[in-house]
Every structure is written in C-alpha cells, then in structure tokens.
Structure 1
C-alpha cells in the first residue's frame, strides 16, 4: 500500500502542474451557488470524480488504443453531465489535453479536432445551453493545442539531452583511448630500455663493476626522465586548453543541430588566461544547449592591443524576451574574469542575435 502511494502518479517531467489542473473542477460548484443540489446529484458528482481520477492519471502512462479510450471516456462524461451541470465542460477540456499523449503529432491534432466536433454535434443534437458548449469549445481547442506543442517541446528537449549525454560519453571514451595510447607510446619504449639496462647491469655486476655502475646511473636518469614526461602529460590532460574546448564545443553543437561559425585568431597566450577562456567557452556552450533554443552560434577570438577579446553569440530566445538570467555558471565566469583584471559583458541584441557575451582579458607582454 505504501509503495502504491509513493509511486509517482504522473511522470516526473510534468512536475506538479497536472495536480493543479484538477482545481478547474471548481467550476462544477458554480451552479450550486444559486441552485441547491439534491443528494442524488451530489452522489453522481462524487462517483464521476472518483471514476475520472484513475482514468486521468492512467492517461499519462498508457499508450496505443488505451489513450483513445481515455479521451473518449472523459469526453463522454462531459457530454453526459452537460444537461445537468455546465461544469461538465471541464471533462471535455481534460479530454482535449489528453490528445497530447499521442506520439504522432498529426494524429494528436486530428483527435483534438474530433473532440471539438463531438462537442459541437452533441450540443446541437441535445440542444445544450451555451454555458456548456461555449467554454467547452473555447477552452478545449487552445488547451489541446498548447498541450500538444508543450509535449513536443518536452520530448525534443529530452532527445537533445540524450544526444548531448551520448556525445559527452563518446568524447570521454575517445579521451580515455587517447590517454591510453599516449601512455603506451610514452612509457613503452622507456620501460623497455630500463628493463634491458637492468638485465645488462645484472650481468656486469661481477665482471665489470664500473660498467655496472654506469648502467645503473643510466637507469636512474631514464627513470627520472620518464617521470618528468608522465607529469607533463598528466598536466596536459588536466588542462586540455582552448583548442580542445573549441573542438568539444563543435561536437556538442553539431549533436544539438546548432550551426557553429568559428573565427579564432591564432596566437600564444599565458596558460592562466587560456584556462579562463576555455572555461568560458564551455559554460557558454552549455547555456546555449540547455536554454537558448538557438540554431546558430558564433565564436570569435581576437587579440586587440594588449587585450584578448572573446565574443560568443547565438540567435536564441533571449533576443526575443530581452531577459538574461545569470546563474552560478555566469557568476563563476565573471569572478574568474575579474580576478585577472578583465571584464565580462552579457547582453541581448534582438536585431542581430539572441544572447551576446563579450569577455576581455588583459595580456601582459612577456619580458
């Protein structure tokens, strides 16, 4: 019993909204503000709601013909209630929103149209009052269309996140393979040399102690050199650099079907500046993938006098809304930039792009 109560009644991705939609049944009580209900009507209303709730929650999980059965059942409940209480239009509105559960968009819209036609035909044949069919039509069709569009957007976001996770997994797998190859190439030859010199030193130990000492010295030198090379390689893996981050950005945007226009000027820069720029690119691309709904991204890197200027822009929804929400990512980026004496500007340009990020870092001349 406890497991049943703890089980989510609607998929997590819908949040709490489906529960709040149930408050729309308050419209049933409008009639009773001026007409006292009899006991039979109250019993019928209670039984209807108790029957509706399982069907409603089941519609979020079922598939195939069962979705149609839920839609027909709920719509029929609204039409049956129409002669007695115009609040029955609420059932019809719920039936219209259930069409969004259909996986095929065309079938979803056709089923929504069928719900609207059923309401109109029933209203004509049963000579129902306008208090029923007007709200049933006016609210059912827009609610159904909104639900279908919202469902498609939600599924697109889920597919996009799944593709992004797949890209990240493949990138991590490729990186592990690269590290394995590099370490094999780096240590394979060195360890082979150390093994041969150790064997030779063992043979020379009794016959030629001086030559043995020389071989042992060579082994020590080779081992120290290998250790230095391994440390340099590990540092390189930890800080992959701006070039690697740009390539990763291209792979991620390609998976998200976002076109990337990259204009990067080639020049050397201090490691600390490169790390900040790489992190800025990573954060900006993450925001574009998750929030921007963009189809195009432009990355530009230039050296302007004594400053390095990074510009990242997209054609997402920020240009339409004009609202920029600064989360922990942008705040962290701003702190890193200001720590190096640079500046960060985030703005919207509706006439050109959605969101425009401009980062400027001072680069001291090496003496």
Structure 2
C-alpha cells in the first residue's frame, strides 16, 4: 500500500489560505489604480508561492524555511498595510504559523512576540489607517484578537512540527529495526548452514575421494562408500528441509506475535477476534505472509490507532480479515499485495481491499488449495 496521494494532514495548510479573502476583499472593494493593482497581486502571488513551497517542501533545513517564511510574511504585511489597512494583519498570522515549523519553540514565540509589538507600534504610528475604528474598544480588541491568533498559530504549528518529526523518527526506527532483523536473520542462517552442512559436506568429500581411489582396486568397497555418501546426502537434505520450514516463521501464530510487537511499538492496538483454526501448511504460510504485508503497511502508511484480525472457517475454505482505522483510500497497491492477490487467484482464492473506512483486507483461501499455492517468495519480517 505504497501511497502516492497526499493525506488530509498535508492538504490542511492550503485550507488556511482561505483567510487571504480578507485582504483581497479589502482591495477589490475600493477603486484602485494600475500601479496599486500590480503591487497587490504581485505581492499576493509571491506570498502564496512562498507559503506553498514552505509547507510542501521535501528536504531542507526547517529553521531556514521557517525564518524565510516568516520574513516573507512580514514583508508582505508591510507592503499590504497601505493598500488594505487592517486586513493586512492576515499576513502576520501566516508568518507566525510558518515560524512555528522548526525545532525551537522559543524562536517561534519570540518572532510572534515581535510581530505583536510591530502591529502595536504601527497602530500607534499610522493611526489614520484605523481611522474608521473605535480606539476605545475596536482597535485594542482587534490587536488582542490578532495577537491571540498569532500565538495560537505559532504554538499549534510547532506542535504539528513535533508530531511530524516523531512520525519521521518512528519510520526511521522501523527501517533500522528491519535492517537489524535482516542482519540477525542472515547471521542465524549462516550459522545454521555451517552447523548443518559443514561437517556433513566434509565427510561426503572424503568418502567420495575414497570411493574414487577404490574403484579399480576394490570395487565392492567403493560401492559401499558410494552408498554411504548417498545416505549421508539424504540425511543432510532432510535436515536442510527441516531448517527451511523453520525459516518460514513458525506459522500464523508466530506471525501474529510478531505483528503485536511491531504494532505495539508503533502505538497501534491489535485485536485478534476468535481463535486461529488449523490450516493446511501452505495456506497457513500464505495467511502469515498476507498478515506480515498488512502490518508493514499499517506501520508505514496507515496512521492507524487499531487493527482487527480474524480468521474464520467457512463452507469451502477460510477467510482472513484484516481491518485498520487509518487513512484508507484507494491509492495504487504495492508489489506485496499484488503478488499475494496473484498467488491466491492461481489457487482459486481471492483478495479484496476496501479503503472507504480505514483499510480492510479480506482474503479467501479455498479448501484443498493449500498444496496448490505457489511457493512463498521471500519477504521481510517486522520485529
């Protein structure tokens, strides 16, 4: 479920641009000359470009972008005040919002405090811009309300920045855990193969060389050695097959245990409905593989708070359902789910995905198809 769309969280900053309606209305409702129109629309367009670039950028130093966005908003405010008067205060609010998108809360609040003092000084210095308002209550109330919006915007933006950084660090930790798990698994497999085959292959080589030397001098003894090589080889093959079965993860119960650890680390609650029925080995391996892929997607993309898993026996097979309460949607599926769907289709099963309320995966494993499922492709285990 590799998402290529933007979530509601990504689009939200664009929604705040609606408040530019105040300076726009303040400008268009009065007769303007060509020079004023060029200045107004030029400054407005430059500000919108800066704002969108600061919100949707990928990479770069957060502090530099925050300070640049704040400075741009301040310039826009100073240029707009002579044109639209009090309506230009919207740019100060945007500036405080952008100032909050960086590591230092102190910097964000300091810049916001400077904006409030700048606004107060401008009100006193350029009193004629507020000539239509009452200085007994309207102007002070407007200053207090605008200052409150600026403080709220700076503080809220900083909390959003912290949440974004926490999600980023969680993703990095997840990737690092997967890398460490893969390294540990490779080391374990290397040790197991050495223990299983190191001595056995040495014996096979020695006995094969002995049989080769005895072929002409003692054919009967050579035949005995060759049969011994065959016996040892078959035993080694059985041991390797047993080890491979162990590498496949211990079945669905073991995968559920790994899923619980991974989801707990991501702050997601896992609920398993009912008990896990006995499945054919290949069907159980496929169900475990689908669960692994679904959990990986939940941790990386879903932004979910809870996941429910159920596996029930129905006439004609078994149905595995995995439901999360995350962002859902209908973004293109990744390679893992596509491969899983093809494997199930080849065996007469189905895999359905519904993204209307979170993400819901429903897989049907037909009865008797367990031994017909294609061999499992290697996949990553989330630890």
TM range (shorter): 0.5 to 0.7
Change in 2 beyond 3 A, CA 1:277/1:112: farther
Change in 2 beyond 3 A, CA 1:140/1:337: farther
Answering whether residue 93 of structure 2 is matched by residue 97 of structure 1, we say no
SS at match of 1:82: helix
Give the RMSD, CA atoms, in angstroms: 5.2
SS at match of 1:210: helix
Structure 2 gap ranges (5+): 1-8, 134-138, 371-383
Answering whether residue 157 of structure 2 is matched by residue 158 of structure 1, we say no
Change in 2 beyond 3 A, CA 1:212/1:250: same
Residue pair 2:270, 2:307 contacting (<8 A) in 1 also: yes
Looking at structure 2, the residues matched to 66 and 365 of structure 1 have their Cα atoms a distance apart, in angstroms, of 57
Q: How many residues align?
A: 343
What is the match of residue 328 of structure 1? 333
Q: Deviations over 1:180-216 (max 9, x none)?
A: 1221122113112213323543564565332122112
Looking at structure 2, the residues matched to 48 and 296 of structure 1 have their Cα atoms a distance apart, in angstroms, of 43
SS at match of 2:309: strand
Change in 2 beyond 3 A, CA 1:346/1:39: closer
Residue pair 2:116, 2:147 contacting (<8 A) in 1 also: no
- TM normalised by structure 1 equals 0.66
Change in 2 beyond 3 A, CA 1:149/1:309: same
Change in 2 beyond 3 A, CA 1:203/1:280: closer
Answering whether residue 207 of structure 2 is matched by residue 197 of structure 1, we say yes
Residue pair 1:160, 1:256 contacting (<8 A) in 2 also: yes
Answering whether residue 41 of structure 2 is matched by residue 31 of structure 1, we say no
Q: Which sits farther off after the overlay, 277-286 or 202-211?
A: 202-211
Change in 2 beyond 3 A, CA 1:143/1:244: same
Deviation at 1:342, TM superposition (A): 6.6
Looking at structure 2, the residues matched to 343 and 66 of structure 1 have their Cα atoms a distance apart, in angstroms, of 44
* Structure with higher RCO (Cα < 8 A, 6+ apart): 2
Change in 2 beyond 3 A, CA 1:307/1:206: closer
Looking at structure 2, the residues matched to 80 and 267 of structure 1 have their Cα atoms a distance apart, in angstroms, of 71
Change in 2 beyond 3 A, CA 1:65/1:217: closer
- TM normalised by structure 2 equals 0.64
